[in-house]
Structures are given as structure tokens and as C-alpha cells.
Amino acid sequence: MFSRTTPRPALQPGFLLALAVLFAVCGVTFAQSGIPTTRPGSEPSGFQPTGTMQVAREDFTATLLENGLVLIVGGEGGLGPPSPAELYDPASETFRPTGTPALKRYFFTATRLNNGTVMIAGGFVQGALAGAELYDPATGRFTPTGSMHVPRSAHTATLLGDGTVLIAGGGASGSSHFSEAEIYDPITGTFTPTGRMKIARSGHTATLLDNGQVLIAGGQGRGGSFPSPAELYDPASGSFTLTGELNHPRQFHTATRLPNGSVLLVGGLGDGDTSAIASSAELYDPSRGTFALAGTLHAGRAFHTATLLDDGSVLIAGGLMPGAGAVLDSAELYNPSGGSFSPGGILNAARQAHAAARLSDGRVLLVGGADKIVMTSAELYSPQ
């Protein structure tokens, strides 16, 4: 088990096979990725240490605000009251406390709305949560904002073109995985059921496409299955339809919409076991509704981050690698023009279940996560 600086409340037995994998594997103090890249003492890797959070966090969120600060929420351990959220200031490279959420949460979603507030929904703490709250950057306060019809965690939240938010899938406890979806309306502060997904799933991804539809892909389904068919949500009809099939099953992977409108899916758990973490990547073509393989990672990884850079490339950082549960300190860059991955440097700390946010100046903040302990450290990636 990871030894934790802030022990987490016990999760319900059997909740999300991949969740159990994440907290049961042994951490390894340095990544064994075998990636042929630079190490400290040679060329700069692009990663530099920055400020330190006041609270150790994993499975939390980092959201870029309109004012250029980054809101850090949730993911702290312990059985007491929730800790204050934090704000990262890129100018001073420091973290400072801000308002305190009503509840502790892991595996929740944070969505910046068109009015600049951030909607926090669902999550898990000794059970799935239905409640939601809003963070207002102007006041630094959290306030309640309705309740979902289904308590859920490891779900997705997608800001739609009309300013509403699609909440889809997720799980509660045991082997439950939901097909239910609902829409959050910021004007009324309420959640309304919408169409059901064709496949119940949790730990999946949801990506807004250029045409306004939402691509739902991967995840774990009922009976421990890992569904290959993806689906599309159409806001106009409020319904889901099946689209192409993944070449490899994946859960707790990443999905990134590229400048050309295609979606890059990277890594993830293949069957809920660390031995099946994927090194594959694939592209979804919205015009054809199909997935095609798109290169191979130098190291398979899950619970990593993927961040679109200003030049259109994608930074893939950290994560859990196959086998003994080693935590990666490596990064890779996906080049859309070449359709391949190249070494992206070495992080200052191996980390998985961390968070990443692209800053207004194009740098990327990587923060928190876990190796053998849950971390407070953070670092900045500067594109070269």
C-alpha cells in the first residue's frame, strides 16, 4: 500500500476495480520507463520546481480561472472536515488558501462555466456524492448549487455550447456503473435528466467536438467489462448514439481534442489490472466516426495527464506503468503532424493521480499526486 501523509477514509469494498488497483499497488520511488531521454545533470528537461501546496492531494482537480490563477480543489485525506481549496499564482509561483468546499471529494469533476465560476459535482468519500457546489473567484467562496439525480463518481462533466454542462456515467459502490446522464443549467442551478448512454460506464472520457456533440469513450462497464464501442451525445436531441469502436479497451486514460478536430486517446487500464496498462494511442475521426491507431508510447501509462500545448502537440506526463505498479517520472510529446511520440523530459518527481493545467502563458502546471506518499509538490513545464 502507499504510505500516506494524510490517510484517506476507507473506500467501500469492490468500488471500481481500477480504483482498487490504484490504491493497492506498491509505489516505486523512481520510474523504470526505459525512455531514452535526458536526465538531471545533462540537458534541461523543461520541468522546473515551483511552489508547494499547503495540503497533500491526489485524485483532485486543477482549473484555470479567467484571472490566470489555478483553482486546486479536493483530493485531501483524513476523516475530518474538508481543507480549504488553494489558488496557484503563476506570477509569484505560490499557492495560497481560498474558500473551503462543503465536502471532501475524490474522483469528482470541476467545470469552469461561462460566467467564470467553477461547478464542482459528485465524487466519492465513503460513498458516492450527489451534491454540487459553485466556486466564485470574485468572493473566494463555495456555495451549494443543486443536487444530481444520481450520486456518482468517476463520471464526466462537459461544458456544452449553450453553457450548460453534460454529466454522464460514473459509479457509486460495488460494481455499479451508470448509463444515466443529466444536464446542469447554471441559470437555474438545477440538474435535469437527459438521454441515457447506450453503455453504462465509469472512468471514461468525454470530449466536446467541433460540431457540438460529445464523444464518450472507454471506461469500465457492468459485469467488469471494458466496452470498446464509443458513443456520441447530441445536445439538440438529448440522445446518445453509438459510433466507432476503440482498438484497445481503456479506462482512466486521457482524451484530447486536437486543433484539427480529431481526438487523441492515450493509455489507460486495459482490464483493471496494472499488467494491462496500455501503451497504445488512437485517434477518433469525427467525419468518419472511426478510431485508428496513432503511434505507441515509450511507456504504457494510466492515471497520467495529457495537456494540449500552444503548438498543437500534446504533453503526456507521469502516471502508473505496467507491472509492479511503478510510478513514472517521464513525459512524452505527441506530434500530430508526424503521428508519433517523442521523449518529453523528466519530471522532478514521479507522480500519478496528479492534476495538470495549461497556464495563460503556455506553460503547464503539474501538481500533487502520489508515489509512495501523497504529495504537496508542484512543477512547471516550459515548452521548448
Residues 6+ apart with CB under 8 A from 278: 248, 250, 253, 267, 268, 269, 270, 300, 302
pLDDT at 20 over 90: no
pTM value?
0.90
Do 239 and 252 share a domain, yes or no? Answer: no
pLDDT (0 to 100) of residue 84:
98
Domain boundary among 225, 245, 265: 245
In a domain? residue 175: yes
pLDDT at 202 over 90: yes
Do 263 and 168 share a domain, yes or no? Answer: no
Residues paired with 60 in a beta bridge: none
In a domain? residue 65: no
Residue, of 206 and 30, whose pLDDT is higher: 206
Q: What is the CATH classification number for the domain harbouring 158? A: 2.120.10.80
pLDDT (0 to 100) of residue 173:
67
In a domain? residue 71: no
Domain boundary among 229, 245, 261: 245
In a domain? residue 127: yes
Do 256 and 239 share a domain, yes or no? Answer: no
Residues 6+ apart with CB under 8 A from 324: 25, 26, 28, 274
Do 263 and 380 share a domain, yes or no? Answer: yes
Do 227 and 174 share a domain, yes or no? Answer: yes
pLDDT at 8 over 70: no
Q: Torsions phi, psi of 187, nearest 5?
A: -70, -45
In a domain? residue 309: yes
Do 275 and 383 share a domain, yes or no? Answer: yes
Rounded Cα gap, residues 27 and 339, in angstroms: 32
pLDDT (0 to 100) of residue 375:
98
In a domain? residue 350: yes
Q: Which domain holds residue 359?
A: 1-8+26-55+248-384
pLDDT per position as a tens digit, 294-347: 999 999 999 999 999 999 999 999 999 987 779 999 999 999 999 999 999 999
Do 260 and 241 share a domain, yes or no? Answer: no
Do 240 and 255 share a domain, yes or no? Answer: no
pLDDT per position as a tens digit, 152-176: 999 999 999 999 999 999 998 656 8
Do 303 and 238 share a domain, yes or no? Answer: no
Do 120 and 135 share a domain, yes or no? Answer: yes
In a domain? residue 37: yes
Do 154 and 202 share a domain, yes or no? Answer: yes
The total of other beta-carbon atoms located within 10 Å of residue 120's CB is 28
Domain boundary among 245, 261, 284: 245
In a domain? residue 46: yes
For the chain, the domain total comes to 2
Do 255 and 220 share a domain, yes or no? Answer: no
Q: What is the CATH classification number for the domain harbouring 311? A: 2.130.10.80
Joined grid coordinates for residue 299: 511507456
